[in-house]
Chains A and B, each alone.
Chain A
Amino acid sequence: MWSYALKRGGATAVTLVAASVVIFAFIHLVPGDPIYILLGDTATPDQIDALRRQLGLDQPIIVQYLRWAGHALSGDLGRSIFFQAPVLSVIADGVETSTLLASMTMIWVLLIGVPIGTIAAMRHGSWLDQCLSGAAMLMASVPTFWVGLYLILVFAAWLGWLPSSGYPSIFEGGIANLRYLILPSLTLAAPNAALILRLTRASMLDVSREDYVRTARAKGIRPWQVVRRHILRNALLTIVSAFGFTFAALLSEAVVTETVFALPGIGRLVVQSILRRDYPVIQGVILVVVVLYLAINLVVDLSYRLLDPRVELQ
């Protein structure tokens, strides 16, 4: 297990380096010059050259990369061109918001998707299954901004139970601030829980046709035990990897929901930064997202190894 973890960790590090090169190179292919944006139309060529030198944008790209990567390793992701502040402090709020939002969403997804998917699979073909699968289809199809607006309308405007927008950091306002994330996380959970529900149902139906499930039944153990120990246990292998993808996607792709709930997430930050051609922030955000992606993938790989003894070191 430990040598497996080490090997996977090494592979992750290599991927990270490759990703950082791509991130750095790709952003320079995007048209538009940040110097013009910073200085406006009226800048003189001298001013432009001076700022370019000051920001290091006159150096060869390889030098720019090495400098950036070296600083990144020591936690210095550069200074935001737009905010005139360290990138790390600019994206810190975003990373906190997005990570907590994604985690809370995944908890809903887990609590809704897996049990209901299991029930649907065990009653497959019945009216209950049809209702649950139909509801899941609906949840997966409705756009998130619509769900978000209705949740705000009901729980914030009518009932007044939960705040409708913003997110003050839990490091300043305490753990109770998590209530700001309840409606947005439910909004994000709706389509994702639906997908996990359908996936759980499908993979449980697949597994329940396996010979070893028949063996389990033949032993005379109760149906619920057959489901828990034999069917669900094997269906988890599929569900866990989908879980990883979903979680990773939520970190950076929650732009619409962040906008509806006015949350300072990294999805919104990266879109705004692209519009501002704020290279250091874009690079910093994407790098952080890549690190989170890789970390999640590593966790998924390792849990896979724990769940399935057939996964061996390649």
Chain B
Amino acid sequence: MLAVRDLTICVGPAAKAVDIVSAVTFSIDKGEVLGLVGESGSGKSLTSLAIMGLLPTPGPRVRAGRIELDGSDVTALQPWQRVEAGAGRLAMIFQEPMTSLNPVLRIGDQIEEAVRVHDGTSGRLARERVRELLDMVRIPDAAVQLAAFPHQLSGGMRQRVMIAIALACRPQVLIADEPTTALDVTIQVQILGLLRELCDRLDMAMLFITHDLGVIAQLVDRVAVMYGGRVVEAADVGELFGAPSHHYTRALMDCMPAPSRQRRLRPIPGQAPRPGTITAGCVFAPRCVAARDVCREALPPQIRISERHEALCAFPLGSGRSP
């Protein structure tokens, strides 16, 4: 459905360009929910913007790699070019529902705009589709809300509107970049529930980006963990939580509070690397408890733990090779 291969994103002038996302590879099957986890600065948001064709110009750019949607190469295409090329069934919702809607246009017009692009309809047909979308994201009082301006809606409602806009293109894949970070906990639960339900009902795949492992555990089928611009581990959600292989994944879980286990939280020592500072070896080596000389010298191999579980580590946990 969606395949990302060796995606590399760099910033800076051509001569001194620094890679901030390196060789990211993953794919999402039809109807599958993939969680992309990582700290701030791990490159997960840039990866998602690149997939959507929304990298700001001037700014970071795709240096290498390939993004395929349903078999067609969309790497260099912006959303409107994808629509023209017939590969526009990819949508995205963002972290900040408060600023993601145009303050001077009515909600109804903003949704209808997306409907017109993708359905090529206007007038009554388009308005019917808008109503249908509002029902799908469970916005009550459609007539009132359609005439409202964004500032008259709560954060949760605005995020529902954003989801309605995203659904206008009947997406095969929905990219959700921390869509609940800015919302209250109760609203968070509702929005997450809605997203999961929509995926199941519309057979829609989702790339869910977050730094919150708790959300990941509840919501996704498969997880890719990003660190320092690389995917360091990818596995089905049960396997990842049950038996993480990468030391970073393990460390990340140790910083997560769990009500069932009474134990101290263990923060990861040190700080996430600034882009371009680690040029050789494993990106996590400076903070890794199991790092050896070889880790600092050469990029670790991609090790296949099981059929659907891979880790970028020379000494993965539970392999008997770790010290």
Contacts and interface: CB of A to CB of B under 8 A. Distances in A.
B64 interface: no
A175 interface: no
B94 A223 contact: no
Contact of A309 (B79, B83, B149): B149
B11 to A, nearest CB: 16
Contacts of A307: 104
Interface residues of B, number: 32
A218 interface: yes
Contacts of B313: none
Interface string B98-113: 0111111100000001
A212 interface: yes
Contacts of B118: 220
B117 interface: yes
Nearest to B49: A214
A169 to B, nearest CB: 41
Most buried by B among A210, A214, A230, A308: A214
A255 to B, nearest CB: 38
Nearest to A307: B104
A208 to B, nearest CB: 9
Interface in A221-242: 221-223, 229-230, 233-234, 237
Contacts of B169: 219-220
B150 to A, nearest CB: 8
B165 interface: yes
Given A307-B104, A308-B103, A217 B96 contact: no
A80 B114 CA distance: 64
B99 A211 contact: yes
Contacts of A229: 102, 105, 113
A296 interface: no
B102 A309 contact: no
A204 B56 CA distance: 15
A234 B102 contact: yes
A211 B100 contact: yes
B238 to A, nearest CB: 32
B57 to A, nearest CB: 9
B180 to A, nearest CB: 16
A309 B117 contact: no
A212 B100 contact: yes
Most buried by B among A209, A220, A237: A220
Contact of A219 (B56, B103, B117): B117
Interface of A: 125, 209-212, 214-223, 229-230, 233-234, 237, 307-310
23 contacts: A211-B99, A214-B54, A214-B100, A215-B94, A215-B100, A216-B113, A217-B78, A218-B79, A219-B79, A219-B117, A220-B80, A220-B82, A220-B88, A220-B169, A221-B80, A221-B113, A221-B114, A221-B117, A230-B102, A233-B104, A234-B103, A309-B103, A309-B104
Interface of B: 52, 54, 56, 58, 78-80, 82-83, 88, 91-92, 94, 96, 99-105, 113-114, 117-118, 149, 151, 162, 165-166, 168-169
